[in-house]
Amino acid sequence: MRLSRQTLDRLPATVKRPEYDHARLAVGIVHLGIGAFHRAHQAAFTDAVLAQDPAWGICGVSLRSPETRDALAPQDGLYTLKVQDGEGEELQVIGSVVELLCAPENPEAVLDRMADPATRIVSLTITEKGYCHNPATGRLDENHPDVVHDLRNPARPKSAVGFIVEALARRAAAGVPPFTLLSCDNLPSNGHVLKNVVTRIAELRDPALGRVVGQVASPSTMVDRIVPATTESDRSEISAAIGVDDAWPIVTEPFRQWVVEDDFPLGRPAWENAGVVFVDDVAVFEMMKLRLLNGSHSTLAYLGYLAGAETVAEAMALPGMEALIEGLMVEEVSPTLPALPGFDLAAYRQALLQRFRNPALRHRTWQIAMDGSQKLPQRLLGTIRERIATKSSYDRLALGVAAWMRYARGIDEKGNPIDVRDPLAARIAGMTQPLHRAEEIVGAFLGIAEVFGDDLSSDQAFRDTLVRSLSALMSKGAAAVVKSRA
């Protein structure tokens, strides 16, 4: 028997379930990129306030594969969220996703939903690379194959940004006011980046459309919850615990945070009642989270993977690792963060270390290692730039960057190939695998302008630091380097 509206009343009493009439929900939000993160984060915050207003159901859109739709549509969009840490676990069925669409199969259905006047928010978790931008400049990459495609075929877009521009064009033509854009990806000023990219695409289509899109509200947000990919054993354990089959449950940690700029001309769910914090400017929160959490995460992922740690918790347990990460946060990152009055930064850092140690989450280093070329600019390189500007040390941050180079070259410490997932993977492998000396490898990487920008590429001290770190990683191995840095 499958989890569905019909089987909700068979669930054990300990499983939390929607406290509203699920059949009465209507779509008010279209979410592009309905992955695990969205389902543990925005969809959970939204679920908590639907009893107050059932008009804010979510239409979840997959931009690539039909897998999520195929798993959740037969379940009326319902799925289980398992929240766990070392101390306990809690199961909750989330009901905020009321419709599922697969964009490549039926782009017209997605555009219809987005153009519908009832849709008042279009939110996104499409990962860094989904923005089709140059990570170093934040501007649209006009040569990106999806952008080129979408400009040639505006009514049958492939990219999220292409869907947004076409839907806004249709709304404008029909006299329907624009929806609010809500980026929930780990990018600094994610709302601005999104707005710049879609406005530029619209301008390239038609200057008048550019002016329309330039007026759209696009508040920035800081999102936080650690959500590992669901495994087969999660599926079977959770299905056994709830007594019916759930084809795609999600496992996550208790911690969740969402800080949002309050700019929603067509309204929004009462998310503040679920703990969402609304502010005028999210920039400081975003910088703190990207540099402390995600910067540490990427460093843990590359060093951990190279040293043979499968999960973040295993990486944290490597001799010297915790001291290295704490040192990175305290000495190298924290001094670059603007003050947040009343905010206890030391407690935030301690909580992060504890979250990274969470023994109940199997968060794979390989998962976090993905898309490094898109992640490093905001996670490590921006911080390094500020350390250089203030003539301060950045050894641990540079070790994280060197570990990425060691990893992204695509050959592990035993000489076996690494399954590197990154839009630049092939280019990096082609460029760096024939090279063997750290100087040459670092030189090749620094030539990637969309990652390092011109400034870092030409900084001799930065180059020397990377060469030292990469040589050590290549000669001694990551585990020994981590141990020696403690």
**Residues binding ligand CS2 (CB under 6 A):** 186, 224-226, 293-294, 297, 367-368, 375
CB-nearer residue toward ligand CS2: 421 or 437: 421
Contacts for 33 with CB less than 8 Å, ≥ 6 apart:
61, 62, 63, 124, 125, 126, 127, 130, 160
Please state the closest distance from residue 159 (CB atom) to ligand CS2, in A.
21
- Confirm if 297 and 368 have CB atoms less than 8 A apart: yes
Please state the closest distance from residue 379 (CB atom) to ligand CS2, in A.
8
- Confirm if 117 and 176 have CB atoms less than 8 A apart: yes
Which residue of the chain is nearest ligand CS2 when measured via CB? Answer: 297
Contacts for 107 with CB less than 8 Å, ≥ 6 apart:
156, 157, 163
CB-nearer residue toward ligand CS2: 168 or 290: 290
CB-nearer residue toward ligand CS2: 22 or 362: 362
> 123 burial class (0-12, 13-18, 19+ CB within 10 angstroms)?
buried
256 alpha-carbon distance from chain centroid: 14
Single out the residue of 171, 170, 152, 151 nearest to residue 161, CA to CA. 151
The owner of tokens 């005028």 is 280
CB-nearer residue toward ligand CS2: 34 or 101: 34
Please state the closest distance from residue 297 (CB atom) to ligand CS2, in A.
4
Please state the closest distance from residue 56 (CB atom) to ligand CS2, in A.
23
A 10 A CB-CB count for 426 gives 11
Please state the closest distance from residue 354 (CB atom) to ligand CS2, in A.
14
Please state the closest distance from residue 369 (CB atom) to ligand CS2, in A.
8
CB-nearer residue toward ligand CS2: 370 or 456: 370
DSSP string, 303-347: HHHHTT--BHHHHHTSTTHHHHHHHIIIIIIGGGSPP-TT--HHH
Specify the 3-state DSSP secondary structure of 134. Answer: coil
CB-nearer residue toward ligand CS2: 380 or 431: 380
